[in-house]
Amino acid sequence: MYDATLAETVYFRGHDDDVIEGYCARPLDGASRGGVVVIHHLPGYDRETKEFVRRFAVMGFNAVCPNLYTRLAPGASPDDAAALARAQGGVADEQVVGDVAGAMRWLAALSNSNGKVVTIGHCSGGRHSFLASTHLDLAAAIVCYGGLIVGETPPQLPSMVPLVDRSPLVRCPILGLFGNDDQFPTPAQVDELEKTLQSNGKDVEFHRYDGAGHAFFGPDRPAYRVEAALDGWSRIQAFLDRHLAG
């Protein structure tokens, strides 16, 4: 079995036709396959997020993560860029959608693309993955403990408006993975999101994990919960196999 993958920094056009940076990983065997846009969390375009990108390539998909802070802090370390982004109130939703759309076009242009793309994000990236599902023609979207889909805009980060009212606009199936000990979002907020999506006739698959809180997928953090993370990865693999087939 030929199992080579390529991981590298690439550049493509995002929101407003700006050239932005992205990190991609993809199998090199030439078989037709779908793509995954990985949307990084508020702490930035960091090593952990790039590890997720490479994992998706090993799982059999083309993957790319757009650097949402390209314009703000080109060439800066991820934590410095994230500190600046936070100080400036975050990144506008419209810009995120444009950058994700650019990443989708980049994936679709790959010679082995089957044209299907799923988004995934953790934390604020989970919110952005949900946001993308209301604007873009995705095969599906994955939300890992996305905060502020339900809730109130924090006064210090005006870019983080709640999105649950946009549930009627969701265009694709949604996989949601949440920890029951999380406060951002709380279990009650997860329930509200699930019910709202279901009442709007959306295709929803939510999983909740006892003993897990926020960031349970992060292996380098005290929040890591191995059982939740392993089950979550198996749910992600099955979901991607189903929605990116063909």
Contact residues: other proteins, CB under 8 A: 41-43, 46, 72-73, 76-77, 79-84, 86-87, 122-124, 145, 147-148, 154, 156-157, 160, 183-184, 213-215, 221-223
CA distances to 3, 89, 114, 148 from 153, in Å: 45, 11, 38, 7
Could you tell me which of 111, 89, 88, 91 has the C-alpha nearest to residue 100?
91
Return d(Cα 147, Cα 215) in angstroms, integer.
11
Distance in Å, CB of 89 to other proteins, minimum = 8
In the complex with other proteins, which residue's Cβ is closer, 138 or 144?
144
Could you tell me which of 217, 149, 119 has the C-alpha nearest to residue 177?
217
Does a cis peptide bond (omega within 30 degrees of 0) precede residue 185?
Answer: yes
In the complex with other proteins, which residue's Cβ is closer, 160 or 228?
160
Distance in Å, CB of 218 to other proteins, minimum = 8
Distance in Å, CB of 88 to other proteins, minimum = 9
In the complex with other proteins, which residue's Cβ is closer, 45 or 106?
45
In the complex with other proteins, which residue's Cβ is closer, 56 or 145?
145
Distance in Å, CB of 52 to other proteins, minimum = 14
Could you tell me which of 3, 37, 203, 170 has the C-alpha nearest to residue 110?
37
Distance in Å, CB of 48 to other proteins, minimum = 10
In the complex with other proteins, which residue's Cβ is closer, 30 or 75?
75
In the complex with other proteins, which residue's Cβ is closer, 156 or 199?
156
Could you tell me which of 76, 112, 109 has the C-alpha nearest to residue 2?
112
Return d(Cα 183, Cα 175) in angstroms, integer.
19
Distance in Å, CB of 144 to other proteins, minimum = 11
Contact by Cβ (8 Å): 65, 96: no
Return d(Cα 162, Cα 200) in angstroms, integer.
17
Distance in Å, CB of 229 to other proteins, minimum = 15
- Dihedral angle at the C-alpha atoms of 154, 87, 126, 94, nearest 10 degrees? 90
Helix (H, G, I), strand (E, B) or coil at 121: strand
In the complex with other proteins, which residue's Cβ is closer, 46 or 205?
46
